[in-house]
């Protein structure tokens, strides 16, 4: 008699949990590309970060759920259930990721590595000198399973996001960045405290309970 391997059991359990996940179902109903949209939605509703007319940079944007949410916030009269994200856009959204994704009306997309100077120059060219109201970063490295290596990779990505925010945000602007509990967590919290006047950690309800991810929200630059 054949028996299931451990990996098959794990995959089957994950698929069962995924299909029955409340936020997966909501994303399908509301037309979002991923359940991650509800993480940004909760953060936005908690801190009132997103308003029409802003300039927003979306880092680690693939598959585009955060950009979709931003798009809807900038066109609230025409956005809604069923994936409606069209109509006149009151605001600017620039999305960046190493992977490509299906275009979103009105969103400028740059494909490339955020750590690459040439890609950063493309992003800065797209801004055309405009100060940024909000940077949102859902960037995450490919994890190796080696704690010290993974901590360094996570720390590097968040440091890049903080550096970009410090140079391009308006004085009262904000940064939302994904971090993970582990060796890199405390140093990154300190980096945020050194950079922003107000720092708030948040774990949205849409983050899976088993996930070590959390988000840091930094509001108001300490210096220019």
Q: How many CB atoms lie within 10 A of CB 147?
A: 12
Residue pair 157/184 in contact (Cβ under 8 Å)? The answer is: no
Name the 3-class secondary structure at 90. coil
Tell me whether residue 64 is annotated as binding.
Answer: yes
Which two tokens mark 92?
């600017």
Please check whether residue 95 is in contact with residue 67, taking contact to mean a CB–CB distance below 8 angstroms: yes
Domain ranges of the chain: 6-221
Task: Determine the pLDDT at residue 82.
Answer: 41
The CATH code that applies to domain 6-221 is 3.40.50.150
Length of the chain: 224
Contact in structure between 62 and 99 (CB atoms under 8 Å): yes
Per-residue pLDDT of the chain (224 residues; tens, 9 = 90+): 444 454 454 455 434 444 568 999 999 999 999 999 999 999 999 999 999 999 999 999 999 999 999 999 998 665 444 444 556 789 999 999 999 989 999 999 999 999 999 999 999 999 999 999 999 999 988 877 787 888 899 999 999 999 999 999 999 999 999 999 888 999 999 999 999 999 999 999 999 888 889 999 999 999 75
Residue among 178, 200, 203, 222 flagged as catalytic: 178
Q: Supply the pLDDT for residue 9.
A: 47
- The residues pairing with 136 across neighbouring beta strands, listed in sequence order, are 58, 176
Is 14 annotated to bind a ligand? Reply is no
Q: How far apart are CA 199 and CA 202, in angstroms?
A: 10
Q: Is 113 annotated as a binding residue?
A: yes
Q: Is 97 annotated as a binding residue?
A: yes
178 is catalytic: yes
Tell me if residue 155 falls in helix, strand or coil. Answer: helix
Would you state the pLDDT for residue 211? 85
């Amino acid at each position: 008699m054949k028996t299931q391997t451990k990996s098959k059991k794990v995959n089957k359990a994950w698929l069962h949990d995924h299909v029955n996940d409340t936020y997966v179902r909501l994303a399908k109903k509301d037309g979002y590309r991923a359940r991650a949209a509800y993480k940004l939605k909760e953060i936005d509703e908690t801190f009132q970060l997103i308003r029409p007319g802003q300039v927003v940079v979306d880092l680690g944007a693939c598959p585009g759920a955060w950009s979709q949410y931003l798009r809807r916030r900038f066109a609230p009269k025409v956005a809604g259930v069923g994936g409606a994200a069209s109509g006149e856009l009151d605001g600017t959204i620039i999305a960046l990721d190493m992977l490509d994704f299906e275009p979103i009306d009105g969103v400028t997309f740059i494909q490339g590595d955020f750590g690459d100077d040439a890609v950063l120059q493309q992003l800065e060219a797209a801004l055309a000198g405009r100060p940024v109201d909000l940077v949102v970063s859902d960037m995450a490295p490919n994890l190796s399973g080696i704690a010290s290596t993974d901590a360094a990779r996570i720390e590097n990505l968040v440091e890049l996001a903080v550096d970009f925010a410090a140079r391009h945000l308006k004085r009262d602007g904000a940064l939302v960045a994904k971090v993970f509990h582990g060796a890199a967590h405390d140093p990154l919290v300190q980096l945020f405290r050194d950079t922003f006047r107000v720092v708030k950690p948040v774990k949205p309800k849409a983050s899976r309970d088993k996930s070590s991810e959390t988000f840091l929200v930094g509001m108001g630059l300490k210096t220019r």
